[in-house]
Amino acid sequence: MARIAVTDGMAAAAIAMLEREGHEVVLEHHQTDALLGGVLASFDAVVVRSATKLTAAVIAASAGESGGLKLIGRAGVGADNIDLSAATENGVLVCNTPGSSTQSVVELTIGHLLASVRHIGPGTQGLRQGEWRKSELRGTELSGKRLGLIGFGRIAQGVGRVASALGMELNAYDPYLKANVARDHGCQLHSSVDEVFRRCTHITVHCNLSDETHHLVNAKRIGLMTGRGADGIECGNHLVNCARGGIVDEQAVLDALESGQLASVSLDVFENEPTTADNRLLQHHAFQGTPHIGAATLEAQTRIGFEMAELLIDFFSGKTPKSVVNRDVL
C-alpha cells in the first residue's frame, strides 16, 4: 500500500476513500527548505495544489536515487508549479484533474465580468462608508457587446455559453483549436490574437502560461481595443483573467487603467502570488480582484478530491491513470 503526502489540502471524503483502500495519507504543508531537504523522499506519491512548488531540485531530492516518489498528483489543472522535465527524468508520473474545476472557473469569470461592468465592488464599498453613489455608478450591459476569449478550451467554451445567453457576440483566438469546434459554439475563431483585441471590448483569458503566452496581454494589444460595443455603446474596454498570472502584463494594465484605455481590470491570478498590497494595480479604483479562487468552491474541491483519489488508486493497483501530463514516463 502507498504512503501519500498531501501538502495543500484535499476533501475529507477523498482522503477517506484512499484510506479505505489501505493507503496511508499524511496531510502536511512543507516549506521550501524541508522540500529541498528531501521530506518527500519517504513517500510514494505527493498531491499538491498551486501553493507547493515542485522544482527540479525538490524532485531530485524526492525521487530517483534520492527517494521513492513515483507519482505527483496536481489537484487542479495547471501543472506550471511542477518541473515536468525533472519529473520525467526521475521517472515520476504527473497526473492532474483537468475537468473538475471547469464550472467553478466559468462562474467566477462571468462573476468578474458582471461585477466590473456594474460596479458591484465600488457600490458595496461606498455603502459601507455611508455613501449613496447612485449617479456615479452607471454601468453598461454585456448584451450587445463583443467578447474575445483568449484560448477556447473547456472553460472558455463554458464562459462562451453563458456570455452568448446574455447576448454577447463570441470571438476567440486559439491556434490549437479546430475551426469546427468554435463554429459549433457559435464563436468566430480568428487566426490573429491582435484581431480579437481590435474587434472586442471585453476580453477573458483562458490559455496556459508558457513562453508563447507570457505577457500576451500587453500595452500594444490593449491599445488596439476601441471601447465601442457592437451596439454602438461607448462601454469602454474590460479585461478578466482567471487563468494564470504572467499572461497579463500587470504594469501595462495599470498604465491602461490610468490612461482610461481600460475601463476595468479583474484578476484572480497574479504575476507573483500571493500578491501584496504594495502592488499598485490593486489600489486602482477600477481594479477588481480575488486571491486565486477559481477552483475554490465546495463542489469543485470535492470533485477534484475524488478524481485525484481515483487516479492514485488506479496507479497503485497497476492501472494507467486517465489524466497523465508527462506520458513519456509510461
Contact call for residue 104 and ligand MLT (CB under 6 A): no
Determine the size of the site formed for ligand MLT (CB under 6 A).
9
> Rounded to an integer, what distance in angstroms lies between the CA atom of residue 28 and that of residue 302?
19
> Rounded to an integer, what distance in angstroms lies between the CA atom of residue 81 and that of residue 68?
20
Cell readout for 186 is 457559435
Q: How far is CA 269 from the centre of its chain?
A: 7
> Rounded to an integer, what distance in angstroms lies between the CA atom of residue 243 and that of residue 225?
21
Residue 269 Cβ, how far from ligand MLT at the closest point, in Å?
7
Residue 202 Cβ, how far from ligand MLT at the closest point, in Å?
21
Contact call for residue 99 and ligand MLT (CB under 6 A): no
Pick the closer one to ligand MLT by CB: 241 or 261.
Answer: 241
Residue 167 Cβ, how far from ligand MLT at the closest point, in Å?
29
Residue nearest to ligand MLT (CB): 76
- Tell me which residues are annotated as active site: 244, 273, 292
> Rounded to an integer, what distance in angstroms lies between the CA atom of residue 120 and that of residue 72?
40
Asked if the peptide bond before residue 98 counts as cis, ω within 30 degrees of 0, the response is: no
Would you tell me how many other CB atoms lie within 10 Å of the CB of residue 116? 24
Q: How far is CA 122 from the centre of its chain?
A: 25
Cell readout for 271 is 504575476
Q: Cβ(109)–Cβ(166) under 8 Å?
A: no
> Of 172-201, which residues contact ligand MLT (CB under 6 A)?
none
Among 25, 45, 50, 92, contact with ligand MLT (rule: CB under 6 A): 50
Site string for ligand MLT, 287-306 (x = CB under 6 A): -----x-xx-----------
Contact call for residue 78 and ligand MLT (CB under 6 A): yes
Residue closest to 102 by CA, chosen among 206, 233, 226: 206
Interacting span for ligand MLT (CB under 6 A) from 73-81, 87-95, 206-214, 249-257: 73-81
Contact call for residue 10 and ligand MLT (CB under 6 A): no
Contact call for residue 266 and ligand MLT (CB under 6 A): no
- Contact positions vs ligand MLT (CB under 6 A): 49-50, 76-78, 101, 292, 294-295
